[in-house]
Amino acid sequence: MSNAFGELGNGRYKGNIIYPIEKNNKIGFIDKDGKIVIEPEYGDMLFVNEGMIAFLDPLTDRWGYMDSNFNVIFKPQIKIITPEKFSEGLAGYCDEFKQKWGYIDKYGNVVISPRFAEAFEFRDNYATVVVNELQESCWGRPISGDRWGAIDINGNFVIEPKYDFLKNNWKGLFTASKDDLWGCIDKDNNTVIPFIYEKLSLNEFGEGLSLAKYKDKWGVIDIKNNVVIDFKIDDFLDPLEGCYGIGWGETSSGNVKAYKFDNKWVLFNTNGIPIKTLEGYFVVKEYINGYAMAVTEKEECHIIDEAGNIIFSRKRNYAKTPGPFSEGLAAVNASDINDPFEEKYCYIDCNGKVVINPGFDSADPFYENYAVVGMYTYGYETQYGIIDRRGEYLIKPFYDYITRFYNGIACVKLNNKHGYVNTSGKLIYEPEGFLSDRNFKIYLVKGC
């Protein structure tokens, strides 16, 4: 099961939180007290932003929409695999007979007739669309031969469909690809960044700064095509392949980014100014809460801060990987501390000091002052429990799976059924139905 609590960020949102339940293959929701606020009578329910809720009628297998107070705006009538998110009052939909994409408003009215092979969200009054005479089905993703363009809210083309790829990125500017070269254009089809790059990820590095690949090397340019960081970056994980700059060759946090130049990792601030060269590292992974895991050329594992200082060093190259810092603590394998034969996990603070002694076969990051830990059974299956910051059990290992807490509630799984517990360790909803990854989402809404 995926961790869905990141759906709303780390507790920055205010409002009512509701949690999904399943009963008799139908989806409903409870509040943080375990009270049912939406009866389980829907085949599916998705919160698709702008105060809109898509719901699936289990009898007709068609989608309709509610407002944030759960009032039906229009009855189920659309048959698509997944309802698109509303953006600027419009959402993409697929005509099941024409098998083409168009746009509807919040009341289900067709605003832009279905005539596209693919239709994406509106941003700043423009949306990218795909036209392909060979692509008749709207169920699959665009294939080779597609032509990308952009339309306005009336469905008129502002950028004719002639590009191999087009993305509405930032402040009315579009990343575009044509004949295997990348550049940037505006809504009037004026070239802003020339088509000379092998890849381009607009505004990826920071405000107004873009990652670009030229002659097999990555660099950073501004919106006027001035070079901010020379094209000397090696092994950068292509952000256009789905990782968006977070991964094998490039990592980021709120304050620094790490790039590899001529087999040396260099830390940069968000203005593209180098801070420090990191000697002897093979890879520097993603910064999380100000700390990153780094692997040396000798295959030793370190945790480093944003200044490149070593907070923790793994002593054995086959020991288990340390976890990220969260709420000032990180889970590490005890064999890295003092006992080469101890394979249990413990927690260290930002100074590398052990604050929770070894005793767990698996250990997750802390959230809301609690962490999920696992213990092997005699059959080498894992049972999960929850500990506090003192290392004491709130819930002893018992469940097949537990999520992190969100707004004081965690989902538990037992015998393929899901329920919920609170920070007192009390079950607020007994495990009953099964929630798939698709259904398992936590939502913040108004009016429940």
Enclosing H/E stretch for 376: strand 370-376
**Angle at CA 218, nearest 5°, toward 217 and 223?**
135
8-state DSSP, 146 = -
**Bridge partner list, 147:** 131
Is 232 contained in some domain? Answer: no
Dist CA 167 CA 152 (whole Å): 14
Is 421 contained in some domain? Answer: no
Is 126 contained in some domain? Answer: no
**Cβ distance 204 to 211 under 8 Å?**
yes
* Strand residues in 216-309 grouped as ranges (E): 217-222, 227-234, 250-252, 256-261, 264-269, 274-278, 281-284, 291-296, 301-305
Cβ-count burial of 74 within 10 angstroms (0-12 exposed, 13-18 middle, 19+ buried)?
A: middle
Is 13 contained in some domain? Answer: no
Domain with 305 in it = 246-313
**pLDDT 10s per residue in the chain (448 long)?**
333 322 332 232 335 678 888 888 888 888 889 999 888 998 888 777 777 788 888 888 888 888 877 788 888 877 765 566 788 888 888 887 888 899 988 888 889 999 998 899 898 899 999 997 554 444 455 445 679 999 999 999 999 999 999 988 777 889 999 999 999 999 888 999 999 999 888 766 566 788 888 998 888 898 899 998 888 876 543 333 322 232 323 344 557 777 777 677 888 777 767 788 888 888 787 677 778 878 887 777 788 888 888 887 766 543 456 677 888 888 888 765 555 556 788 998 888 788 999 889 999 999 999 999 999 988 778 999 999 999 999 999 999 999 999 889 999 999 988 999 999 999 999 988 777 655 555 554 443 3
Is 295 contained in some domain? Answer: yes
pTM for this entry = 0.71
For residue 197, give every residue at least 6 positions away whose Cβ sits within 8 Å of its Cβ, in sequence order, or none.
181, 182, 183, 212, 213, 214
CATH code for position 273: 2.40.10.480
Distances, alpha carbon 447 to alpha carbons 17, 67, 107, 121, in Å: 10, 10, 20, 26
Q: Which two tokens stand for residue 299?
A: 């295959």
Into how many domains does the chain fold?
1
